[in-house]
C-alpha cells in the first residue's frame, strides 16, 4: 500500500483520457481502505477523494487534485443456497465480465444477458447496470459498503439501494459517502431464459443453437455487442454515453406521426422509453468526428476517443448532441457517464 504522487490516470479510465491524480493508491482490504481514508483527511486536498473501479463510466475533464483510490478487492464465493438459488458474494474489485463467465461455467443463471459489459463488480449496483432485458436489481440480494462518514461497514438491501434506470442511492443521495466492498447476487439454479430483447433470438438462430442455454445466450450477447460496440482496449470509450430517455405516451404518439421509425418501449401506462441512439443518428451524428473526439460509426450512443482527445473535447461534443436532439425532437438527453 503506497501513495503515489502526480500519477497519470490514462491507464485507469476506458476513455483513455490523460489527466493526472495528485495522489493515487490502491487498496485490497477494508483495513487498507480505512488507513488510506484516514491519510486523506490529513492531506492538503482532503476535500477530494475518488474511488475508482474499472474506470468504465467516467469522463475526466480535469486533473484530479485529491486522492484517487483504486478498488482492488478480490473474491468470489457462494455464501448460501436454497432449493432455487445460489447466493454468490463477489468483491467489488472483480472484473464484471469475468464474473459473468465464472457464473456461466458453474451454471449459476441470471447474469448471462449482462455479458461483456466493461467495468468492475462494485459499479454494478451503483449504476444498476442493465442490458438485453435484465438489470442488476433483478438478481440483487444485498451489498456491503464502507461508510466514509461514520467509518463502519453498512449492509444495503434491495430496497435500501433505491434502484432506478441506471440509478441508485449511491449516485444521488449518498453520492461520495459509501465505498462498495462486495455485492451478493441471487442466481438461479434453473435458468429463466430472456431472449425477447434486441437481436438475441436472431443471433441464436444465426449461431444454429438448437437447445437454449445460458452459455448460448451469453455468446449471442457477446457476438452482438462485439459487432457494434468498440473495444475500449482499441478505441477509448465508456459504452453508452447517454441514457435512453423516457417520455409521455402522448409525446411519443405525436413524434411517431412525424417519425414513423421511432422505436419505443413501454415503461408503464404513462411513459415510453425511446432509443437515444436512434435520436442521435437521425440528427446526423453517427460517425461524426472532431479531431480525436467522435461518435462511433456503428452505434451513435457511443462517444469515442480515437487517440488523444481531451475530456473537454468529448464533453463539448456531447453538449452539441444534446442541443441537437432537443431542437429536433423536444427531448432532453441525459449523460449516463459520470463527469469528473
Can 166 be counted among the known catalytic residues?
A: yes
Given the residues 115, 166, 218, 225, select the one marked as catalytic. 166
320 sits in which H/E element: helix 311-329
| Residues 23/45, Cβ–Cβ less than 8 Å | yes
Least Cα distance to 166 among 100, 241, 228, 235 occurs for: 241
- What's the rounded Cα separation, in Å, for the pair 282 and 284? 5
Active-site annotation holds for 46: no
- Report the DSSP beta bridge partners of residue 88: 78, 185
Torsion over CA of 288, 292, 297 and 298, rounded to 10 degrees? Answer: -140
**Which residue has 495522489 as its cell numbers?**
23
> In sequence order, which residues have a C-beta less than 8 Å from that of residue 292 and are 6 or more positions away?
305, 306, 307, 308, 309, 313
Which letter, b or e, does each residue of 163-190 get, where b requires 16 or more Cβ atoms within 10 Å of its Cβ? beebbbbbbeebeeebbbbbbbbbbbee
Q: Which of 56, 124, 240, 318 is catalytic?
A: 240
Give the separation between CA 21 and CA 115, rounded to whole angstroms.
Answer: 31
Q: Is 115 a catalytic residue?
A: no
Please list the active-site residues.
166, 240, 336
Amino acid at each position: 500500500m503506497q501513495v503515489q504522487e502526480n500519477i497519470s490516470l490514462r491507464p485507469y479510465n476506458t476513455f483513455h483520457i490523460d489527466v493526472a491524480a495528485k495522489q493515487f493508491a490502491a487498496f485490497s482490504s477494508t483495513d487498507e481502505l480505512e488507513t488510506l481514508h484516514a491519510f486523506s483527511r490529513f492531506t492538503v486536498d482532503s476535500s477530494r477523494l475518488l474511488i475508482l473501479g474499472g474506470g468504465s463510466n467516467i469522463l475526466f475533464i480535469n486533473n484530479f487534485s485529491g486522492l484517487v483510490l483504486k478498488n482492488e478487492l478480490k473474491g468470489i464465493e457462494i455464501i448460501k443456497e436454497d432449493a432455487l438459488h445460489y447466493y454468490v458474494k463477489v468483491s467489488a474489485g472483480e472484473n464484471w465480465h469475468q464474473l459473468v463467465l465464472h457464473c456461466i461455467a458453474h451454471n449459476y443463471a441470471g447474469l448471462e444477458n449482462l455479458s461483456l459489459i466493461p467495468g468492475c463488480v462494485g459499479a454494478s449496483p451503483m449504476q444498476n447496470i442493465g442490458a438485453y432485458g435484465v438489470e442488476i436489481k433483478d438478481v440483487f440480494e444485498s451489498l456491503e459498503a464502507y461508510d466514509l462518514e461514520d467509518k463502519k461497514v453498512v449492509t444495503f438491501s434491495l430496497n435500501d439501494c433505491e434502484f432506478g434506470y441506471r440509478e441508485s442511492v449511491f449516485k444521488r443521495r449518498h453520492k461520495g459517502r459509501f465505498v462498495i466492498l462486495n455485492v451478493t447476487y441471487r442466481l438461479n439454479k434453473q435458468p429463466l431464459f430472456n431472449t425477447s430483447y434486441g437481436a438475441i433470438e436472431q443471433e441464436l438462430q444465426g449461431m444454429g443453437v438448437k437447445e437454449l442455454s445460458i452459455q448460448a445466450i451469453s455468446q449471442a450477447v457477446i457476438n452482438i455487442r462485439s459487432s457494434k460496440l468498440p473495444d475500449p482496449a482499441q478505441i477509448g470509450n465508456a459504452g453508452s454515453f447517454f441514457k435512453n430517455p423516457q417520455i409521455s405516451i402522448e409525446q411519443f404518439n405525436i413524434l411517431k406521426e412525424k417519425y414513423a421509425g421511432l422505436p419505443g418501449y413501454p415503461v408503464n401506462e404513462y411513459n415510453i422509453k425511446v432509443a437515444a441512439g436512434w435520436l442521435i443518428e437521425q440528427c446526423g451524428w453517427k460517425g461524426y468526428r472532431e479531431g480525436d473526439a467522435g461518435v462511433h460509426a456503428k452505434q451513435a450512443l457511443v462517444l469515442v476517443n480515437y487517440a488523444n482527445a481531451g475530456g473537454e473535447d468529448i464533453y463539448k461534443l456531447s453538449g452539441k448532441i444534446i442541443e441537437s436532439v432537443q431542437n429536433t425532437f423536444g427531448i432532453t438527453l441525459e449523460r449516463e457517464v459520470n463527469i469528473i
